[in-house]
Copies of this chain bind each other. A is one copy, B any other.
């Protein structure tokens, strides 16, 4: 039962949509895969025949245990490669996604586990997303909230992002916002929801609400 690259990408997309919209329509999936509904139909049939999804027309697709396992292992590979690219090859965090997208389809489990060991079993990828363990179990990230929910005076650590697109990450680079850095909310402007943060050196950072909504933080006690 060999899974093709295309099939792996479908499984990943289905997993993603299951997490957000509950159940996906073929159209939503087509959009996510940058493909067409007609193409999706054929692929879903194939995935069903291989026991990777359950599928009923007009009622969306759900991953089976096996399908979920494969999807999570693919995500594991992806995120481990991102760690490798950023930590070992010194790529900036905004430029590793597409490379990891290629690398995630290479090699078998033994290989990935050696990579994991080489990287010292990292738990989060460079965007703060949790890395599933060797058995394909997604680690839970503890109580992160979008930064726009923090109130004036709150101190917090940046732990993740909701949007991992290069554009967004590059914007954060410019602001000097990165994972692990801590800030205090300094001001909030009611009229547009934008906020100002004070960094460690007292430097002020201004963020629009669109940006702060996509930054995940952990409040300090």
Interface of A is mostly: helix
| B102 touching A114, Cβ below 8 Å | no
A152 beta carbon closer than 8 Å to chain B: no
A88 beta carbon closer than 8 Å to chain B: yes
| B88 touching A111, Cβ below 8 Å | no
A interface with B by C-beta (< 8 Å): 88-91, 99, 102-103, 106-107, 111, 114-115, 117-118
| A118 touching B89, Cβ below 8 Å | yes
Taking CB atoms, residues of chain B closer than 8 Å to A114 are 89-91
Query: Lowest 5 A-B CB distances belong to which pairs?
Result: A89-B114, A102-B106, A89-B118, A88-B118, A103-B106
| Residue from B91, B99, B102, B111 within 8 A of A99 (CB atoms) | B111
| Residue from B88, B89, B106, B111 within 8 A of A106 (CB atoms) | B106
Return 15 A-B CB contacts under 8 Å, by A number.
A88-B118, A89-B111, A89-B114, A89-B115, A89-B117, A89-B118, A90-B114, A99-B106, A99-B107, A102-B106, A102-B107, A103-B103, A103-B106, A103-B107, A106-B106
